[in-house]
Amino acid sequence: MGRLIVIEGLDGAGKRTLANGITAELTARGHSVARLAFPRYSDDVHAELVAEALRGNHGDLADSVHGMAVLYALDRRDAADALRADLSAYDVVLLDRYVASNAAYGAARLYQDSHGDFVAWLHELEVMRFALPKPDLQILLQVPTEVAARRAEHRERTEVDRQRDNFESDASLQQRCGEVYEQLAAENWWSPWVVVDGVNHVDFGTLVDKHVLA
């Protein structure tokens, strides 16, 4: 059975870059790696609806925190069988965002913390009811909000199709979201977490030895 490793963090924190680094390190050591990023915008109708709602379609859908969270959750539910298959075929399955993204962003939008109704409701939906595979490790890639925003701005200017949506450019939402993430990590919400400093150079070798394969 492969290990399920999740990378979490703010928009622009450097999650994709970290996933590339961990993948290169694991591959160089002869381990097989499967990668998946949520939301699966181009592969799942629920994620497609999320993207459309964020662009202002579907009436007041984007205003509903629970409505959007259900769509993000259904995207994962539809990926669960493929995820389980990958876990039996690969040494490591590396996810860019997973259930905790829904917890952190939803709670932040509602001005709640990790002990509020929203996180409890989400746990009931995705963990208990949808029974999604449990991560062996959740990595919080931690950077100050301003650093994440600068990186996301830079990416917006230099890459196609990476425009930030309204939530991504809302600095105070991102700040609250970072705080909920820190609480979830401190409480080892759902499964073990490790916090990685994403401001300075990340030592992929140590991270892989001490946490990813541990």
Ligand X SMILES: Nc1ncnc2c1ncn2[C@@H]1O[C@H](COP(=O)(O)OP(=O)(O)O)[C@@H](O)[C@H]1O
Q: Which amino acid is at 190?
A: W
Q: Does 12 contact ligand X by CB under 6 A?
A: yes
By C-alpha distance, which of 139, 155, 158, 153 is closest to 198? 139
The verdict on whether omega for the bond into residue 135 sits within 30 degrees of 0, i.e. cis, is no
Among 7, 21, 105, 136, binds ligand TYD (CB under 6 A): 105
**Distance in Å, CB of 214 to ligand TYD, minimum:** 25
14 makes contact, choosing from ligand TYD, ligand X, none, with CB < 5 to 8 Å by partner type, with ligand X
Q: Which is nearer to ligand TYD, 121 or 167 (CB)?
A: 167
CA separation (Å) from 139 to 4, 132, 153, 188?
Answer: 11, 18, 23, 11
For ligand TYD (CB under 6 A), the number of binding residues is 10
**Do the beta carbons of residue 113 and residue 107 sit within 8 Å?**
yes
Q: Does 72 contact ligand TYD by CB under 6 A?
A: yes
**Distance in Å, CB of 161 to ligand TYD, minimum:** 8
Q: Does 149 contact ligand X by CB under 6 A?
A: no
Which residues of the chain form beta strands (DSSP E)?
Answer: 3-8, 33-37, 92-96, 137-142, 193-197
In DSSP notation, 142-163 reads E--HHHHHHHHHHHHHHSTT--
Q: Does 167 contact ligand TYD by CB under 6 A?
A: yes
Q: Does 21 contact ligand X by CB under 6 A?
A: no
Q: Does 90 contact ligand TYD by CB under 6 A?
A: no
Among 79, 86, 102, 132, binds ligand TYD (CB under 6 A): 102
Token output for 191 = 């499964």
Among 9, 39, 106, 135, binds ligand X (CB under 6 A): 9
Token output for 7 = 């990378």
Q: What are the residues binding ligand TYD (CB under 6 A)?
A: 11, 38-39, 72, 97, 101-102, 105, 167-168
